[in-house]
Copies of this chain bind each other. A is one copy, B any other.
Amino acid sequence: MSSSLTQILSRIEPLDGNIMELARKRQDSLTKPGGSLGKLEDVSVRIAGMRRSIMPVLSNKAIVVMAADHGVVAEGVSAYPQSVTHQMVSPFLTGCAAVNVFARHIGALVIVVDMGVIGGFEANPLLENRSIAFGTNNMATGPAMTRRQAIESLEAGIAVAEAQISHGLDIVGTGDMGIGNTTAASAVCAAITGKPAAVVTGRGTGIDNEQLIHKVEVINRALEINKPDSEDAIDVLSRVGGFEIGGLAGVMLAGAANRIPVVIDGFISGAAALVAVKLSPQVKDYIIASHLSVEPGHRIMLEYLGLEPLLDLDMRLGEGTGAALGITLAEVSVKILNEMKTFDEAGVSDKDSGG
């Protein structure tokens, strides 16, 4: 492991239990029946524990969208041509892709990162170039990337997140773009959770039954050829992962090390979370699962991670669209702690007053 990765891992600490207890007490004292804001109260308490503040403020929001290509597309696993990865970066930059609409709606920045798109891009101040290579290798015939590249992808994600955090970012969402990346995410899920490929694999952008059977077969072949070591996250990432999966895992590690909430999107971000949590189990405490994707493996990932999604809207778009909605829920959850009054402050009778 490299020094920058080792260093980040050494900085990840548990949530602050004392602050969480005080935040829970504050929630209970606000002018509402105790616990009546359900999961939002739990989220606010966790964020208090991350931020070490009973009344944390989240004012700088961003969604990091990482794009990369996947060699396994050569096996015919996607409904869309590989060139779509490259083509979609342009709408991200001009603000007319789905994630831009969602991010504007919630007042978040979109940070677009090229983690390894085939062909690359001309220099553009709106696009962060962290390209590891022009796409991964075909994991159905050998490792998707070298171990060195896997570490580089993690470190690139750490660098992207830490640069934003140093400018005041206090909550980050994760998003992805990469034709073929549900195939990689399914393989990562199977490798780490031990569930069969047939169980964790879904239709991605929308393949039919025959293509789904083929996709499962390709994933099984990749797992067989590569034999990823389920206890070694970097091995899994290098053999059957992707550059954006590594990059997003790096964002999660950096978020946890810097004690900011990381709101994860759907299936691809889930695969990245598996890698990050395998590297440092404590990372899980800093992750907020925004939504449950239609991809069947996503539920398995979240159960493995012990995370409960906030939303279930039958979404399966990626890009960070679900993360955007999760960020706005996280934000309102801490506004409750900040902007509501207690029964005492508001002069309202509490339950104990009887009547």
Q: Return A344 CB to nearest CB of chain B, in Å.
A: 12
Given contacts A79-B351, A87-B347, contact A317 B36 (CB under 8 A): yes
A38 to B313 Cα, complex, angstroms: 6
* Residues of the B chain whose Cβ atoms lie less than 8 Å from the Cβ of A96: 31, 339-341, 346
Query: Does residue A165 face the partner (Cβ distance < 8 Å to B)?
Result: no
Within 8 A of B (CB), among A233-280: none
Contact assessment for A348 and B88 in the assembled complex, using a CB-CB cutoff below 8 Å: yes
Taken together as a complex, chains A and B put the C-alpha atoms of A15 and B58 apart, in Å, by 40
Q: Let me know if B347 and A90 touch, CB within 8 A.
A: yes
Contacts of A195-220 to chain B: CB distance below 8 A: 204-206
Q: Which residue of B lies closest to A310 (CB)?
A: B313
Contacting pair A37 B349 (CB below 8 A): no
Please indicate the chain B residues that have their CB under 8 angstroms from the CB of A38 in the complex: 294, 313-316
A335 at the interface (CB under 8 A from B): yes
**A residues 307-355 touching B (CB-CB < 8 Å):** 310-317, 321, 325, 328-329, 331-332, 335-336, 339-341, 346-351, 353-355
Interface code A141-168, partner B: CB below 8 Å = 1, 0 otherwise?
Answer: 0000000000000000000000000000
A225 within 8 A of B: no
- Check A80 for interface membership: any CB of B closer than 8 A: yes
Contact digits for A21-50, partner B, Cβ 8 Å, 1 yes 0 no: 000000000111111111110000000000
Copies in the complex: 2
A104 to chain B, nearest CB (A): 8
**A102 close to chain B: CB less than 8 A:** yes
Q: State whether A316 touches B31 (Cβ < 8 A).
A: no
A126 proximity list for chain B (CB < 8 A): none
A82 contacts chain B at the CB level, 8 A cutoff: yes
* B98 x A32 contact (CB < 8 A): yes
- CB neighbours of A101 from chain B (8 A): 332, 335-336, 339-340
Query: For A30, A32, A81, A346, which residue has the most chain B Cβ atoms within 10 angstroms?
Result: A32
Distance in angstroms from A288 CB to nearest chain B CB is: 13
Bound complex: CA of A84 vs CA of B332, how far in Å?
Answer: 24
Closest to A350 in B: B80
Taking CB atoms, residues of chain B closer than 8 Å to A353 are: 80-81
Q: Are A31 and B97 in contact (CB under 8 A)?
A: yes
**Partner pick for A328 among B33, B36, B321, B328, CB 8 A cutoff:** B328
Q: What residues on B are CB-neighbors of A325 within 8 Å?
A: 329, 332
Residue of B nearest to A324 (CB): B332
Q: Report 9 cross-chain contacts, Cβ distance below 8 Å, ordered by A residue.
A: A33-B206, A37-B98, A37-B313, A38-B314, A73-B355, A81-B354, A81-B355, A96-B346, A105-B332
18 new A-B pairs (CB below 8 Å) besides A96-B339, A101-B332, A311-B311?
Answer: A30-B98, A31-B96, A33-B317, A35-B206, A38-B315, A40-B315, A81-B349, A83-B349, A87-B346, A91-B348, A97-B340, A97-B346, A101-B340, A102-B332, A105-B331, A206-B351, A312-B312, A313-B329
Residues of A bordering B, CB below 8 Å: 30-40, 73, 78-84, 87-88, 90-91, 96-98, 100-102, 104-105, 204-206, 294, 310-317, 321, 325, 328-329, 331-332, 335-336, 339-341, 346-351, 353-355
The 7 closest A-B pairs by CB, nearest first: A81-B355, A38-B314, A36-B317, A33-B205, A87-B348, A39-B313, A96-B341
